[in-house]
Amino acid sequence: MSVFPNLIAGEAAPVLEAMRNINPSDTRDIIGEYAIASCQDVETAIAAAAQAFPLWSRTNALQRFEILDRIGTEVGARSSEIGDMLAREEGKTLKEATAEVLRAGQLFKFFAAEAYRANSEGLPSVRDQIGLAVTREPIGVVGVITPWNFPIAIPAWKIAPALAYGNTVVFKPAELVPGSAWMLADIINRSGLPKGVFNLVMGHGSVVGDAIVSSPTVAGVSFTGSTRVGKAIGHALFERGARMQLEMGGKNPLIVLDDAPLELAVDCALQGAFFSTGQRCTASSRLIVTPGIHDAFVARLIERMKALAIGDARDPGTDIGPVVSEAQLAIDERYLEIGRMEGACLAHGGERLNRKTPGHYLNPALFTQTTNGMTINRDEIFGPIAAVIPARDYDEALAISNDTEAGLSSGIVTQSAKIIRHFRDHAEAGMIQVNLPTAGMDFHAPFTGRKQAGYGPAEKGSYARDFFTAVKVTHERFV
Ligand code: NAD
């Protein structure tokens, strides 16, 4: 089996060590071997990116547009092939995986056009004969560190703006899912970028990620991952005065009020909590339900959960694929046990499932009769497990929804325009979903979390420029 190499300064780097990429739907299926970068490899990649920066930062908008647009076109054209790899290595369904790849292509195209809009601003001065300009400059070498659950969309929404605004990149994908990230990196590497502008270094976070975070040459790091790792990275970056953009864990509420259309509420809960095997930072893990609809909602949700097809991610009939790894499955099972021990009622699911192939299959689980203080409603589980929390009325539901250390996505199902407006203004989250699942955002909209879910400027959309550029203010006396 040939080994997929790191891509440094436009070349395949020599491979000293490699790791296996294993299919969670069939653990006998070894997808490929992927190089593990050494600290020396990371240093070489960072040096190449630093060397390429002066040239790339001065390229004109048309050159950047054409390269990013070309990348977007190839990613989109190969969505089935890359989507198949994504489903095979991560375990989300083919439909979800292909949609993610298409989104990655669209993100490159969006940021291709952003290259034309990386604008500066002239302000009127308050003094006579003085000019005042605010200009934007790329920040330099950017480290991009990404999680396993969106192995192509998240890298795309970090790498594309980094390049569009004139930065150079050292990219470290999650070690569990290097396959689709490698395919993206290969496309970027062949897109016509000058050597060193983009570099791929795969491997373990504690070595490769840490080497990026601690390098004095890396001007900023855009990280998505767990709150624990994000905080540790944040401390290190702050110490050396580097920029940071940290997107971290969620514990997202979906409020269902008495006036909610039942089937819509159940759709939102089912989609938000369990699709992509519940492995989304925006998953609806807390379902906060008022008394008038509670029993009907729970009964119908369980009915719908029973009808879900759980199986091989690449089987077209599958609704929910496997959990990503044995380690994540063990975490899910531990939380199922904690939920039971703390007195929650496991109303449905939670058992391992046997399928034709050996994989990490878990029946999506629903706890009922839970309180917001229970561990299952405090910690991000990151699996197909949701809990119903009864609430007296909207006011109590809102208070419960805001009672979390994470503030990523927050949803509500109701027909009341008054409550929708109130919720939008009072939900303590970066992203609000009304009569929609808590997961699923437009690709050109900003992505941002509050409290411990996010730190630093928002990602995506035009807002991305606040991280990937630095502003400079010039006062000029006309002589
Ligand atoms: P993780 O924190 O374990 O790893 C994320 C990345 O950081 C990986 O590439 C990993 O190798 C790297 N890393 C680990 N230790 C490091 C270190 N010491 N220094 C530098 N890099 C290091 O997260 P994960 O398990 O891959 O992903 C799941 C988590 O990601 C969940 O908490 C989820 O909520 C979060 N997530 C958040 C968002 C968001 O936008 N808020 C989106 C997707 C996932």
Q: Is 268 a catalytic residue?
A: no
Q: What is the pLDDT of residue 351?
A: 98
> Which residues of the chain, if any, have pLDDT below 70?
none
Rounded to the nearest 10 degrees, the angle between the axes of helix 79-90 and helix 94-114 is 120
Give the integer Cα–Cα distance in Å for 13 and 212: 17
Q: What is the pLDDT of residue 118?
A: 77
User: What would you report as the CA-atom Rg of the chain, rounded to the nearest whole angstrom?
Assistant: 23
Q: Would you say the CB of residue 278 lies under 6 angstroms from ligand 1?
A: no
Residues belonging to the chain: 479
What is the 148 CA–ligand 1 centroid distance (Å)?
Answer: 7
Could you say which of 114, 175, 247, 380 is catalytic? Answer: 247
What is the 250 CA–ligand 1 centroid distance (Å)?
Answer: 12
Q: Would you say the CB of residue 205 lies under 6 angstroms from ligand 1?
A: yes
Q: Are strands 130-138 and 409-413 parallel, antiparallel or unpaired?
A: unpaired
Q: Would you say the CB of residue 449 lies under 6 angstroms from ligand 1?
A: yes
- In this structure, which residue's CA is closest to atom 30 in ligand 1? 225
- Kindly report the backbone phi and psi dihedral angles of residue 222, in degrees, each rounded to the nearest multiple of 5, phi listed first: -105, 115
Q: Would you say the CB of residue 249 lies under 6 angstroms from ligand 1?
A: yes
The 10 Å Cβ neighbour count of residue 258 is: 16
What is the 328 CA–ligand 1 centroid distance (Å)?
Answer: 13
Tokens representing 2?
């040939």
What is the 173 CA–ligand 1 centroid distance (Å)?
Answer: 10
Please, which residues bridge with residue 220 across strands? 142, 243
Q: Would you say the CB of residue 201 lies under 6 angstroms from ligand 1?
A: no
Cβ(375)–Cβ(236) below 8 Å: no
pLDDT in tens, 267-320: 999 999 999 999 999 999 999 999 999 999 999 999 999 999 999 999 999 999
Q: Would you say the CB of residue 98 lies under 6 angstroms from ligand 1?
A: no
Q: Would you say the CB of residue 203 lies under 6 angstroms from ligand 1?
A: no
Q: Which atom of ligand 1 is nearest to the CA of 172?
A: 9
Q: How far is CA 234 from the centre of its chain?
A: 17
Q: What is the pLDDT of residue 1?
A: 73
Q: What is the DSSP string of 450-464?
A: EETTEESSPBSTGGG
Q: What is the pLDDT of residue 71?
A: 98
pLDDT in tens, 189-248: 999 999 999 999 999 999 999 999 999 999 999 999 999 999 999 999 999 999 999 999
Q: Is 247 a catalytic residue?
A: yes
Cβ(413)–Cβ(255) below 8 Å: yes
What is the 157 CA–ligand 1 centroid distance (Å)?
Answer: 15
